[in-house]
Amino acid sequence: MKKISVYIKRGLLLLIIAILITPWLQSEFGFIKSAPLHGTVTKPENETFSFSSWFSGSFQKRKEEFLNDTFGFRNFCVRINNQIAFSLFHKANANGVIVGKNNYLYEKNYIDAYNGTDFVGYDSIEHIVRKLKFIQDTLGKLDKNLIVIFAAGKGSFYPEYFPDKYRIKRGMTNYEVYSELARKDRIANIDFNKYFLENKYTSQYPLYPQYGIHWSHYGMFLAADSITRYIEKVRKIDMPHIYWDGIDMAQPRDVDYDIAEGMNIWERLKSYDMAYPRVRFQADSGKVKPAVLVISDSYYWDMYNLGISSTFSNNHFWYYNKHIYPEENSSVQNPAQVSFKEVVSGHDVFILMATEANLSDFGWGFIQRAYDYFKGVKSN
């Protein structure tokens, strides 16, 4: 009996040692492959020892941060922790993500935009719309077009699934004022937020996903097709069209699952099937392809990846007016470094697009820059 007890103690000791050293072995040799975490993951650099950093305490602090973010099986542990938080406490361990009723997922800024808690003020928006009107009229004299696009917003589309604490009395919203003044001042615009709401219960396929923050892949396709046809109408040209030759129905993926993917949980959440058009593009022969500059938030990304730019010439996408895509079409990556005179001369159509959650900073500096340029305040 005593011998068995000794074996049990030795076995437990070996098990404890194995548990302690296995994460280190995994971090050093990576003998078990694990899927990377989704979202923005910054791996800290390993701290190099020096006496000065040791006595200042910075070595210990940075070394601890490095070890906490790089220990073996960390991704596994993160997913387990996130799954427990989601399954037991209805909580998402992801920056700004809110778990709503029936597990509908939101980013908090969309809820704020719908409730009007991010409202910047009627006078401020009216001031910006006046500038947009001046920019539009000035571009019109140059045979160019400005188009403002209000992308759909999940807060407006699915307010019924907000957690109870976010179901508050709504105030005036940035979207409501922008859309009202754009119509009043005859700013050329496409209001997809309004269109999606009008077709919420009649659309053949879902326009918004349960677990994604952007419009559905199908909804994005409809928007992309509408944009090209709107450009055709205002410029009186015949452009190559986007079309589909079939629809595949499947569980949400890619953009239709982007919030859930960023939560980094083990479970693959089930939802209603989403529509995925098999996209085709008309041949260019005999068609006119205008030069287009799009200044937009992430709602343009899926269109960009779809290939909408193949219907344009000299296409550029200025992401949040901070970074230029496609990168190979420009010698610089920051729009602020580009000559605005060349920007104006090199494009026929200027599109400003944002979802309701980003209207508090609509244009991200582009509107003021264009206004100043056309007013002669500064030149570059």
Q: What is the pLDDT of residues 18-49, one digit of tens each?
A: 655 665 555 555 556 666 667 655 666 666 76
| Co-location of 104 and 83 in the same domain | no
| Co-location of 135 and 255 in the same domain | yes
| Co-location of 83 and 104 in the same domain | no
| Co-location of 103 and 75 in the same domain | no
Domain membership flag for residue 18: no
| Co-location of 271 and 181 in the same domain | yes
| Co-location of 291 and 317 in the same domain | yes
Domain membership flag for residue 324: yes
Domain membership flag for residue 42: no
| Co-location of 132 and 202 in the same domain | yes
Give 53's Cβ-side CA count (13 Å radius). 10
Domain membership flag for residue 178: yes
Domain membership flag for residue 34: no
Its pTM surpasses 0.75 = yes
Which segments in the chain show pLDDT lower than 70?
A: 1-4, 6-7, 9, 13, 15, 17-37, 39-47, 49, 51, 53-55, 57-74, 76-77, 328-332, 378-380
| Co-location of 83 and 103 in the same domain | no
Instruction: Tell me the residue range of the domain where 82 lies.
Output: 48-89
Question: How confident is the model at residue 59, as a pLDDT?
Answer: 63
| Co-location of 186 and 211 in the same domain | yes
Which pair of structure tokens corresponds to residue 52? 């000065």
| Co-location of 233 and 359 in the same domain | yes
| Co-location of 162 and 184 in the same domain | yes
Domain membership flag for residue 7: no
| Co-location of 58 and 170 in the same domain | no
Question: How confident is the model at residue 374, as a pLDDT?
Answer: 95
Domain membership flag for residue 380: no
Question: How confident is the model at residue 50, as a pLDDT?
Answer: 72
In the chain, how many domains are there? 2
Question: How confident is the model at residue 81, as a pLDDT?
Answer: 82
